[in-house]
């Protein structure tokens, strides 16, 4: 059950309303990484969650994001209001000016309606927490960019508040995931195929417009990694080898194609 208090979580002041910046701000009101997306993603994950402790966490943060939605909306409205009357301002976003009368709508910065396609909800708790960590990271960088696009002191203060809270949430989600003590690569219950899982496919090769030779790093060398060079080229060079099947692979380093790996 929800209750609303007639006070913003962070009081907003705007010295110089700037409709074009107000339009940018809508990105965090009705945009893909905005506050409604956060509120809905966490609250609905919470509704589905059967771990009472992390369900509480999801509801805590989901509810806070609703309060943030209200703060961003109040801030955006102060910037957008001149759109109702000023022609040059209205031209910047006629959807706000003409259809919305200068008020906020559930739109992103280019007038796209908010859609639940923005949400990532799987019902698998550790997976959902990973989606949330990424979502908070995205929201943080978007607030940072917004701060860099304005000089209005009051606006910056409010955005700094909201940006800070995203880091708070990110920290909480990371700790909630860590405390599940799962191996990061153990998602769900069915294990991956052991030979195949360590093969790195070098599917983009060559040198040229894009920079140097193939790049190596911890993500494709060392540890258990087997490096499979240009799997498609191998096929091209030896097109009669026969199709790949799920049996018979050996998985030797630098030689194995993916198809030769055996599922066991």
Q: Of these, 192, 250, 253, 255, which contacts a second copy (CB under 8 A)?
A: 192
Cα dihedral value 21, 26, 31, 37, nearest 10: 130
Task: Give the helix/strand (H/E) hosting 54.
Answer: helix 52-80
Q: Does 248 bind a second copy (CB under 8 A)?
A: no
Residue 211: phi, psi to the nearest 5? 125, -150
* Cα–Cα distance, 168 to 13 (Å, whole number): 23
Residues between 89 and 118 that touch a second copy (CB under 8 A)? 90-95, 97-118
Residue 226: phi, psi to the nearest 5? -110, 135
CB 54 within 8 A of CB 82: no
CB 231 within 8 A of CB 244: no
225: helix, strand or coil: coil
Rounded to a whole number of angstroms, the minimum distance from the CB of residue 195 to a second copy is: 9
DSSP 208: B
CB 132 within 8 A of CB 42: yes
Residues between 130 and 169 that touch a second copy (CB under 8 A)? 130-131, 133-134, 137-138, 140-142, 144-149, 157-158, 160-161, 163-165, 167-168
Residues between 208 and 227 that touch a second copy (CB under 8 A)? 208-212, 214-220
CB 241 within 8 A of CB 235: yes
Q: Does 84 bind a second copy (CB under 8 A)?
A: yes
Rounded to a whole number of angstroms, the minimum distance from the CB of residue 254 to a second copy is: 15
Residues between 64 and 83 that touch a second copy (CB under 8 A)? 64, 66-67, 70, 73-74, 77
Look at residues 65, 92, 71 and name the one whose alpha carbon lies nearest to residue 81: 92
Q: Does 127 bind a second copy (CB under 8 A)?
A: yes
Nearer to a second copy, 52 or 254 (CB): 52
Rounded to a whole number of angstroms, the minimum distance from the CB of residue 14 to a second copy is: 13
Rounded to a whole number of angstroms, the minimum distance from the CB of residue 62 to a second copy is: 8
Q: Does 53 bind a second copy (CB under 8 A)?
A: yes
Q: Of these, 232, 250, 253, 255, which contacts a second copy (CB under 8 A)?
A: 232
Q: Does 183 bind a second copy (CB under 8 A)?
A: no
Q: How many residues bind a second copy (CB under 8 A)?
A: 161
Q: Cβ contacts of residue 73 below 8 Å, gap of 6+?
A: 29, 104
* Cα–Cα distance, 17 to 102 (Å, whole number): 12
Nearer to a second copy, 14 or 108 (CB): 108
Q: Does 16 bind a second copy (CB under 8 A)?
A: no
Q: Does 63 bind a second copy (CB under 8 A)?
A: yes
């Amino acid at each position: 059950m929800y209750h609303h208090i007639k006070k913003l979580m962070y009081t907003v002041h705007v010295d110089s309303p700037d409709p074009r910046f107000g339009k940018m701000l809508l990105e965090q009101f009705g945009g893909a990484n905005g506050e409604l997306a956060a509120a809905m993603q966490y609250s609905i994950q919470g509704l589905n969650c059967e771990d009472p402790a992390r369900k509480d966490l999801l509801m805590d943060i989901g509810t806070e994001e609703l309060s943030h939605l209200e703060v961003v909306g109040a801030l955006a409205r102060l910037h957008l209001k001149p759109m109702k009357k000023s022609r040059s301002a209205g031209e910047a976003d006629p959807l706000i000016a003409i259809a919305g009368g200068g008020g906020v709508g559930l739109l992103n910065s280019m007038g796209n309606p908010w859609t639940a396609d923005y949400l990532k909800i799987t019902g698998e708790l550790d997976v959902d927490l990973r989606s949330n960590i990424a979502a908070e990271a995205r929201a943080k960088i978007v607030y940072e960019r917004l701060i860099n696009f304005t000089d209005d002191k009051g606006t910056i203060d409010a955005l700094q508040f909201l940006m800070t809270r995203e880091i708070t949430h990110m920290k909480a989600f990371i700790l909630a995931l860590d405390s599940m003590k799962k191996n990061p690569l153990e998602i769900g219950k069915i294990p991956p195929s052991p030979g195949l899982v360590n093969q790195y496919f070098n599917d983009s090769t060559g040198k040229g417009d894009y920079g140097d030779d193939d790049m190596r790093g911890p993500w494709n060398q060392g540890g258990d990694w087997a490096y499979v060079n240009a799997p498609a080229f191998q096929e091209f060079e030896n097109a009669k080898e026969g199709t790949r099947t799920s049996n018979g692979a050996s998985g030797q380093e630098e030689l194995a194609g993916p198809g030769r790996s055996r599922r066991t």
